Chain A
Amino acid sequence: MSEIKGASVVIVGGGVTGLSAGWWLARDGVDVLVLEKGLIGWEASGRNGGGCSHHHSPLFAEEQRLWPIMDELLGYPTEFRGERIRLASSEHQMALYGRALRNAERQGFQSAVLDVKQAKEMVPLAGDTIVGGYHYKFGGHANPHRTLQGYAWAMQDHGGRILQHTTVTGFRSEGGRVTAVETDRGVIGCDSLVLAAGPQSGRLSAMLGQEIPVQSARCEMIVTEPLPLMPLGGVDGCGLYGRQTLRGNLAYGGGPHEWLAMAEEGTPAKPTSPLMLHMGKRLAELLPKAAHARIIRSWAGVIENTPDGRPVIDRLASQANVVVATLSSVGFGLSPASGHAIRDLVIDGECSFADISSFKLSRFAELEPNWRELQGWQVTAATEALAA
């Protein structure tokens, strides 16, 4: 194998978490190289609803500070638009969704309760299926693909590098530190390593002696033809998440997932399913005046989750110069802040702007070895093998 020019910091994973971290490091003058086994953004990062409203998270305040200035910071469009509305189709949902307001208020952000009339005024496509809603005067939505590419280009503008079609096969360590990353294209030296490999994070971290417990699942989205723009595109409800894009499409996802066996290597298959129909039905319930809109595409993403669904952003105890990060299905919206946190851990050893102790890997120290079975996160056995 040949040697490839290494970097001070090598980041494994060209998803939104890895690229945001890469950008934060590069803008501080760090020599950073991102490795991606396929194309950047081809996994979960490109397959989410674009929501940016994570009021339960210690990164929420930083997330909210950064999104409105991300276009300016990156130098590329993200299509971010602020504020969100959550519509409730039952009193039960109205009560359920109210917790967001209390969490956000505790972190210093305001919301408003909407009655039916107000909700319809703010969401012209809504109809008589709703009982009320909430208007978050925080958060918002952005375009996942465009933002991710913006991170990549901005990182490169600061001198960072990206190697696509590069599969990590192992690591070399010396004295409790990773010194190089082995790939199918050669060995790449590093002073520090960031592991942000999404569904592959568990397998790769196990090679480093401390496995991040994750299990992957498929979830799906649909998109319609463009419709006239509503005043606010970030509308959730009926169990759906998503948005109206700035082009006017309704891009929504939600519903049940399917736990998947992780392919050892290579890009996992991402089939969609007839769940598209159930998402479509709910979207027509959420926005009845859009019932005529035609679904033109559906897609699926493979998304990794930790046992408790919360992110891991931590230094490994087993390797002093390794930071691991999995956002466990909330990666896109938190990415401006998570990248900042990762940069802090790499350079300073701790996060400067938030208490991220709840993201520590040590919370799983007593986790049952058979936690996947216990939680029921088990793969549905395929009844028909694929032909050669």
Chain B
Amino acid sequence: MNTPASDPKSVTGKPLAIDEKVDVLVIGGGAAGLEAAIGAATRGFGVLLVDENPVPFKTMGDDVPLHFGQGMAANARNRNAMMEAFIASEPRIEEAFEAGVDVRLGTACWGLYANGPALGWMPGLVAGLADEERCFLVQAQHVILACGRRDMGLGFPGWEKPGVMGATAALNLATRYGALGPRRIVILGSGTEALTTALALREAGTEIVAIVEQAPEAVGDAALLASLREGGTEILTRHVVREATGRDCVEAATVAKLDEKGHPAGNERAIACDGIVLAVGTTPVIDLIDAAGCKVAFQAERGGYAPVLDADQRTSIANVYAVGDCAGIWAAKTRDRAIAEAEAARAVAALGTAAMTGSAASLPAPEHDISDYRLAWVRASVVEARAEFHVCQCEEVTAREILEVRPPRYLDWQNERRNDRSLTALLGEGPPNPDQVKRLTRAGMGPCQGRRCREQVAALLALAAAQPLSAIPLAGYRAPTRPMPLSMTAHVPEAPEQAEHWDTWFGMHAQWVPFWEVPERYTVGTNDATGPVASE
């Protein structure tokens, strides 16, 4: 028999159907992404810039990529109007068009794949893109990720009601779409990201009724806080939302004061509102970054899990850069877009140059300890909740079920053995891993892929294990980082020589020979590997 040069049933040598090749692919068209795209085009690179905004209404309904909480106004259904509003909200989009950048809005990147020791099949950097109609692959020499920010979810009874939403979603709806539904908003959290969001929402015409903060003092910028107070916003420190009430959507937030130990105590009060904005933890969007295999680490000065970068914004994967909010979030950067734009400029300057050994410059100390702060919020709101609610809304998992690692209720498993054990007894020694908990409880396994619950799950595990947030591993991300209909997958054709071999996994004929026919000795030379066989 001929010796095969490579296994014909493996991916080796099989071409990928690449639609386009570009010098630089920029993912995300915010301040940093636009600066990167315009800068690269000015340097003479061919640039493709994709931004998933305007997000399809249905995708918003799934709280992907942000926690929209059904806070979209009716006009959000009008895609053309949303496209126009989005472009009008950012003048540099026009500038990018004029600079020769191939700008594609309404186009999401759902996967990024890098050639490497564990993925030799890729011809280089390959991105999976999709708009509402089509899915395709693009190969890029360089990829600059400008994926933005998102918010930690924070649960309490009623948080599943329409009107409870993340700060970044509210901000985008209000300032980039003109499609924010709630008119009277209570905001949880008082960090700079919370306060700047509050001011921007107020500027866009929304009333900011109250800022609710569990800490004894506001943690953000004093001048921003004063501006809100002067505008009529009530500042409620050492308070927590006990419940979102309303028949079909939020009509009021019930708040309570916390005692010295962080327990809700004393009288509760209802604040009339139609929106509750969660702004207790703004964090970099790293779904695509982690799924691609870039190193990420908990970096408090960057707002939580963020990519590990060098001084030129390089990630751990060659020719992949991260800029803007996905590279890290801190108070000064939130207030001054020039910082994010400078990151983009550094990345553009680094394109095509050899990697230096310098690590990223040290950043200012965080305005507060984000681990302690987030844990305190989860303790006050989730652990001390007055009634059970689903921390994981997609899969309907409660905090108690997470901490007791209970099987999902649809199994109707009544045996209570194990559930009186500690987390260490259940999961083994070492920091509890949210992925392990996910597999056993399903928390984080649903269509939103944990966007609403992942930080809460991590915080619950940290509290139960008496560990800081930084000790809890990241619940991993995988492609597709945006939900993709099966019907859309046919758009990328499979190499015919690859399509022939699906019925025999690993191409091993001998594996499926019944045991009563197995020869006593196996050698490659005597093995008959011809003819069809089906694996089980």
Contacts and interface: CB of A to CB of B under 8 A. Distances in A.
Nearest to B6: A376
B492 A274 contact: yes
Interface size class for chain A?
Answer: 35 or more
Contacts of A307: 510, 522, 524
Given A239-B503, A280-B484, A308 B511 contact: yes
A379 B116 CA distance: 11
Interface of A: 39-41, 46, 51, 53-58, 75-77, 79, 92-93, 96-97, 99-100, 103, 106, 145-146, 149, 153, 156-157, 162-165, 217-219, 224-226, 236, 238-241, 246-247, 254-261, 268-284, 290-299, 305, 307-310, 328-330, 355, 358, 363-368, 371, 373-388
B478 interface: yes
B417 interface: yes
B113 interface: yes
5 contacts: A53-B536, A163-B429, A217-B506, A277-B491, A383-B115
Interface residues of B, number: 105
Given A56-B514, A268-B118, A297-B478, A256 B124 contact: no
Given A241-B535, A278-B492, 9 more contacts: A162-B428, A165-B430, A240-B502, A260-B118, A271-B113, A271-B292, A280-B488, A280-B490, A296-B446
A363 B520 contact: yes
Contacts of B291: 272
B135 interface: yes
Contacts of A58: 515
8 nearest CB pairs, A to B: A239-B502, A309-B511, A380-B120, A280-B489, A309-B508, A294-B483, A308-B510, A376-B4
Contacts of B111: 272, 274, 276
**Main SS class of interface, B:** loop
B126 interface: yes
B10 interface: yes
B402 to A, nearest CB: 15
Contacts of B120: 258, 379-383
Interface in B478-526: 478-480, 483-492, 494, 498-499, 501-503, 505-506, 508, 510-516, 518-525
B61 interface: no
Contact of A358 (B14, B483, B515): B515
Contact of B447 (A294, A378, A387): A294
Interface of B: 3-12, 14, 16, 111, 113-124, 126, 128, 135, 137, 291-293, 314-319, 355, 357, 395, 407-408, 410-411, 413, 415, 417-418, 425-426, 428-430, 433, 436, 439-440, 442, 446-447, 449, 478-480, 483-492, 494, 498-499, 501-503, 505-506, 508, 510-516, 518-525, 527, 532-536
A136 to B, nearest CB: 9
Contact of B122 (A225, A273, A368): A273
B524 A368 contact: yes
Contacts of A310: 510-511, 518
Of listed A226, A387, A388, residue having the most chain B CB within 10 A: A387
A274 B137 contact: yes
Contact of B480 (A276, A328, A329): A276
B7 A378 contact: yes
B489 A277 contact: yes
Contacts of A375: 4, 7, 524
A317 to B, nearest CB: 16
Contact of B114 (A56, A238, A384): A384
A292 B501 contact: no
Given A225-B446, A258-B120, A358-B518, A298 B137 contact: no
Given A164-B429, A292-B487, A329 B505 contact: yes
Nearest to B122: A273
